[in-house]
Structure 1
């Protein structure tokens, strides 16, 4: 990308774009750029239930939740998490959290729930150990957290590096639309996933 949105960080912390490994999956940069492109486009946090097209359904770009950041980014890398999660849930519904009183998969909402994405990534063998070591979290990784109010949250590790805290910045939507912030260790990490 020629320009990067300005992350919300301290004025002293000017992140640097880091190149990906030459061995990185070809879709990885597309995923990261797809996430970063949502900044200044996805402006609102809106958890409303919305009937979606299937596959490749999405809520309007100006709104969404934390999972929508991940879903939109992965689509730029050629992976439709709406379709992938729904297909897996159709075959393995009881392997997924039963927190919402549903009796069957719902392609309008299942991929927009953090516990379902966590379960999907784990079932696909994409889970990595949760650590407190910044170097373990690489660009394109997906990280989930438990917020102080008990809510689940999810974000994507960017290729923007903070020299101040020695870690990559996160893109997520926690209430003000898609934002790039230095929040990797802000909350309790509950999941770490590397799909690509």
Structure 2
């Protein structure tokens, strides 16, 4: 009897964790700069922002906030019309920095990495970006390979190579987010999916926050 109760509580905790990830996934983009996102690492919250606001020649920055302290700029781009997109993995922060080259009408990106609070260092230097990588979410499989969402597909990109399809999925995908236990959340047109790395669906929800909450009461 006690074991059954423990398993039930364990399952409920897992569902609550997944629900929290789904809610954060669906709302984090709303609180950051529209191109960027919001992440947490330890006691810190980081989000993409711009300086100055409502200026097409803005400079991207990443803001950081820790409880008890005022928010401050963690990193700021040197380039106008720039953006940052974020991903955390344990104590590591991966940052995609994007800039627009007006002369050639092209977007270029690079990837930076910070470990244990160190100053971000470049791990992928600038390259042309035809996919607006990071806008639909991304995560790093290693320092040399990333996975990103670009409507309606999910792509894999190895450093110095061209993007390839990561896995086939029957429905168009708007955004992706890596979650615990090597799983991925996919945001579709009307549903959110928890999937394995090969795209097999573990769970599916309609994208109504009210219904999601009721399902996990």
Larger Rg: 2
Per the normalisation by structure 1, the TM-score is 0.31
Structure ranking higher in strand proportion: 2
Structure ranking higher in helix proportion: 1
